């Protein structure tokens, strides 16, 4: 449903949510957009371009205690802290990323920590404009229809507010005095959406992104992996900023007297040297080329097979942050060029049926 809220309604909505919830939204840090805790409306700086670091840490923190134990008492108790919180100012790609994370953390044995936090999180999306790294239009994530409570599109005089849940509808009524959207505002939104499609500098040279898993299944021997592996620092920044990277390591910390301790999870990254190292020192992905090939295949192939959706939402954060300018859309286009030079066939071992 599309409602209209005035600029004053917007201010009342944000102020009400800031007052009543733990509120995270976009601010400007060192000249760049970033998500942060906000306690005053004046701190909120809606950004049309993406934050450098995604908002995933508010649902899946970089370090999180899962368990407390007492060795003497033979006691262990789970820890699942989840305050009621608002994530405000997420863009369409970020909401798609959260929808993917929901699938990951619900798969198999549900992840209590993530799901409890997710349930307690109100998501308010806002419209965006692509910068030179965004390529969501090529992935099908430029707009979003689910996974948010409210999504706001700036138009003349205020915002078109889409409620994506009953909770979102109630919040709009409670804080923002919504009214019926006029036809002119809807037309304006249509025009803005069409214009946005023309603003992308980065794009993938493929009409149907659902073919990317097949394209990647032929790319294991492509020279691009050695080329980018030769310059990659193995720093893990691309994993850290990505809204859909969810790998973690589990660590136990025990008190000095060895009586009590905690078990925590901390973010891990497949581009780091030790990620695939096992006991005895064997490393399944020894080279940076191996690790980058793995990362790209996770985004466009392996997880697509398991979760039925590409695991790259086209936010461009990994390209934006990489010190040696490894660019995910350019790498994918190199692979696509090779695939166009020789027609795709069903890989050996897979039947056509
Ligand atoms: S691709 Fe770039 S950001 Fe990622 S590990 Fe290599 S150097 Fe770091
Ligand atoms: S792989 Fe890169 S472009 Fe894709 S979702 Fe992650 S950070 Fe964004």
Mean pLDDT of 60-67: 97
Ligand nearest to the CA of 241: 2
Distance from the alpha carbon of residue 235 to the mean position of ligand 1, in angstroms: 5
* pLDDT tens track for 138-174: 999 999 999 999 999 999 999 999 999 999 999 999 9
Answer yes or no: is pLDDT of 350 > 50. no
Answer yes or no: is pLDDT of 286 > 70. yes
* pLDDT tens track for 88-130: 999 999 999 999 999 999 999 999 999 999 999 999 999 999 9
Ligand 2, atom 5, lies closest to the CA of 312
Helix (H, G, I), strand (E, B) or coil at 78: strand
The preferred substitution site among 226, 227, 237 for testing ligand 1, maximizing ligand atoms within 8 Å of CB, is 237
Answer yes or no: is pLDDT of 212 > 50. yes
At CA 28, angle to CA 24 and CA 33, rounded to 5?
80
Answer yes or no: is pLDDT of 311 > 50. yes
pLDDT given at position 351: 39
Answer yes or no: is pLDDT of 341 > 90. no
Mean pLDDT of 272-280: 92
Mutual orientation of helices 328-341 and 288-297 as an angle, nearest 10°? Answer: 80
Residues 6+ apart with CB under 8 A from 220: 293
Whole-number Å distance between alpha carbons of 171 and 209:
36
Mean pLDDT of 20-28: 97
Mean pLDDT estimate for the chain: 94
Ligand nearest to the CA of 93: 2
Answer yes or no: is pLDDT of 343 > 80. no
Distance from the alpha carbon of residue 333 to the mean position of ligand 1, in angstroms: 18
Tell me which residue of 124, 137, 134 sits closest to 46, measured CA to CA: 124
Answer yes or no: is pLDDT of 77 > 90. yes
Whole-number Å distance between alpha carbons of 270 and 76:
30
Mean pLDDT of 338-345: 72
Whole-number Å distance between alpha carbons of 156 and 194:
17
Instruction: Please give the share of the chain, as a percent, with pLDDT higher than 90.
Output: 91
pLDDT given at position 146: 97
Mean pLDDT of 310-316: 98
Ligand 1, atom 2, lies closest to the CA of 322
Strands 2-6 and 179-180 come out as antiparallel
Ligand 2, atom 6, lies closest to the CA of 242
Distance from the alpha carbon of residue 327 to the mean position of ligand 1, in angstroms: 10
Instruction: Please give the share of the chain, as a percent, with pLDDT higher than 70.
Output: 97
Phi/psi for 226 (5° steps) reads -70, -35
**Per-residue pLDDT band at 132 (split at 50, 70, 90):** very high
**Per-residue pLDDT band at 345 (split at 50, 70, 90):** low
**Per-residue pLDDT band at 352 (split at 50, 70, 90):** very low
- Cα distances from 229 to residues 234, 275, 290, in angstroms, run 9, 16, 8
Predicted TM-score of the model (pTM): 0.94
> What count of residues does the chain have?
353
- Cα distances from 194 to residues 91, 152, 163, 188, 328, in angstroms, run 17, 17, 22, 10, 25
pLDDT given at position 344: 55
Phi/psi for 304 (5° steps) reads -65, -40
């Amino acid at each position: 449903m599309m409602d209209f809220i005035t600029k004053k309604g917007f201010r009342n909505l944000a102020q009400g949510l800031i007052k009543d919830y733990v509120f995270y939204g976009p601010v400007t840090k060192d000249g760049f957009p970033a998500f942060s805790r906000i306690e005053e409306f004046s701190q909120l700086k809606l950004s049309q371009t993406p934050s450098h670091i995604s908002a995933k840490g508010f649902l899946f923190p970089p370090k999180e205690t899962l368990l407390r134990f007492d060795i003497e008492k033979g006691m262990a108790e789970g820890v699942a802290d989840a305050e009621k919180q608002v994530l405000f100012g997420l863009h369409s790609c970020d909401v798609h990323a959260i929808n993917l994370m929901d699938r990951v953390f619900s798969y198999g044995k549900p992840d209590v920590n993530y799901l409890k936090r997710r349930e307690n999180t109100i998501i308010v999306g806002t419209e965006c404009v692509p910068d030179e790294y965004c390529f969501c239009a090529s992935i099908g994530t430029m707009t979003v229809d689910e996974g948010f409570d409210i999504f706001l599109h700036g138009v003349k005089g205020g915002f078109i507010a889409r409620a994506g849940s009953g909770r979102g509808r109630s919040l709009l009524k409670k804080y923002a005095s919504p009214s019926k959207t006029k036809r002119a505002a809807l037309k304006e939104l249509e025009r803005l959406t069409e214009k946005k499609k023309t603003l992308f500098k980065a794009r993938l040279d493929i009409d149907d992104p659902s073919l990317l898993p097949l394209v990647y299944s032929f790319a294991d021997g492509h020279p691009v992996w050695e080329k980018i592996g030769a310059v990659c620092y193995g720093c893990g920044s691309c994993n850290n900023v990505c809204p859909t990277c969810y790998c973690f390591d589990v660590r136990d910390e025990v008190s000095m007297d060895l009586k009590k301790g905690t078990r925590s999870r901390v973010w891990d990254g497949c581009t780091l040297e030790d990620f695939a190292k096992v006991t005895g020192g064997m490393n399944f992905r020894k080279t940076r080329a191996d690790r980058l090939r793995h990362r790209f295949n996770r985004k466009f192939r392996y997880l697509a097979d398991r979760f039925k959706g590409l695991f790259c939402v086209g936010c461009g954060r990994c390209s934006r942050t990489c010190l040696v300018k490894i660019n995910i859309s350019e790498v994918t286009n190199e692979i696509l060029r090779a695939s166009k030079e020789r027609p795709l066939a069903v890989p050996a071992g897979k039947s056509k049926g």
